[in-house]
């Protein structure tokens, strides 16, 4: 099937899907219809063509790669317009503590509850439970190396979809949104004396730092 014939099928699948549709799933679904081996590259070309088509000002929505797949989303200019219809249904209202917990998980994932609480300085049980209920985070396993093998948390594809990004790599870097200088711990390996230099440092009677085998000048 030629690109021109395949492109409407790709558009139809994305339009009918109620979630971001991964490219591999498109290939499988399209293969069931056209009954021929479909090359991944051909579908990629179709996706680029669809995106270019809807990027024009003529359309109020465009094709976005988000949440691990492709989805038609309203352009920013029209957000307030469509929000009047069913905005309350999709807005996930979070408390400040839940937002703080979600931010920590987003930038530190995968992360355990104790690590979250160490950063926040307070208990995060309630916040984590709310984030799980709203399907913004998910339990991905356990930290087998830690005592008690605590649960590990990470953000979901639904969270990426909610933000309109495809991965955490597309989120702003911490240095871009914070002016606070981050102090990193000293690397223990860098603190090891150079090979062959085993001399100890001591403070002499004059309060000066010197190597142990150095003889300070004495008055005659």
Cα(113)–Cα(111) distance, integer angstroms: 7
131 within some domain = yes
Q: What is the pLDDT along the chain (220 residues), one digit of tens a residue?
A: 788 889 999 999 999 998 889 999 999 999 888 877 788 899 999 999 999 999 999 999 999 988 788 999 899 898 888 878 866 655 567 888 988 999 899 888 899 999 999 998 898 999 999 899 888 899 999 988 888 889 999 998 878 777 767 777 777 776 655 554 444 444 445 545 555 555 565 656 665 656 666 555 554 4
Which CATH number is 169's domain given?
1.10.10.10
9 within some domain = yes
Q: Please name the residues in contact with 216: beta carbons below 8 A apart, sequence gap of 6 or more.
A: 204, 205, 206, 208, 210
- Residue 108 and residue 140 share a domain: yes
- Residue 114 and residue 54 share a domain: no
Residue 37 pLDDT: 78
Q: If you search the block for the tokens 């984030």, which residue do you land on? A: 131
Helix (H) or strand (E) holding 25: helix 23-34
E-strand ranges in 49-182 read 61-66, 69-74, 111-112, 137-142, 151-155
Show the domain range for 125. Answer: 96-177
The CB-side HSE value for 87 (13 A sphere, CA atoms) comes to 8
- Residue 101 and residue 74 share a domain: no
Looking at the structure of the chain, the number of domains it has is: 2
108 within some domain = yes
Is 206 in contact with 218 (CB distance < 8 Å)? no
191 within some domain = no
**The dihedral of CA 94, 99, 103, 105: what is its sign?**
negative
73 within some domain = yes
- Residue 153 and residue 122 share a domain: yes
197 within some domain = no
- Residue 57 and residue 102 share a domain: no
Cα–Cα distance list, 38 to 49, 72, 215 (Å): 17, 23, 82
69 within some domain = yes
144 within some domain = yes
- Residue 109 and residue 70 share a domain: no
- Closest by CA position to 66, among listed 106, 104, 23: 23
């Amino acid at each position: 099937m030629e690109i021109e014939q395949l492109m409407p099928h790709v558009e139809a699948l994305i339009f009918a899907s109620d979630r971001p549709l991964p490219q591999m799933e498109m290939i499988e679904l399209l293969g069931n219809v056209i009954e021929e081996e479909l090359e991944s590259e051909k579908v990629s070309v179709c996706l680029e063509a669809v995106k270019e088509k809807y990027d024009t000002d003529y359309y109020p929505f465009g094709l976005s790669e988000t949440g691990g797949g492709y989805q038609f989303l309203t352009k920013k200019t029209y957000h307030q317009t469509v929000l009047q219809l069913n905005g309350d249904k999709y807005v996930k209202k979070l408390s400040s503590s839940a937002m703080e917990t979600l931010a920590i998980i987003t930038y530190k994932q995968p992360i355990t509850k104790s690590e979250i609480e160490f950063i926040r300085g307070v208990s995060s049980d309630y916040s984590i439970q709310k984030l799980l209920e709203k399907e913004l985070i998910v339990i991905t396993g356990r930290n087998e190396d830690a005592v008690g093998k605590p649960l590990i948390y990470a953000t979901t594809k639904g969270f990426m979809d909610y933000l309109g990004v495809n991965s955490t790599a597309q989120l702003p870097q911490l240095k871009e949104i914070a002016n606070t200088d981050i102090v990193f711990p000293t690397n223990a390996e860098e603190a090891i004396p150079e090979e062959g230099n085993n001399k100890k440092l001591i403070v002499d009677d004059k309060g000066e730092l010197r190597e142990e085998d150095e003889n300070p000048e004495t008055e005659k």
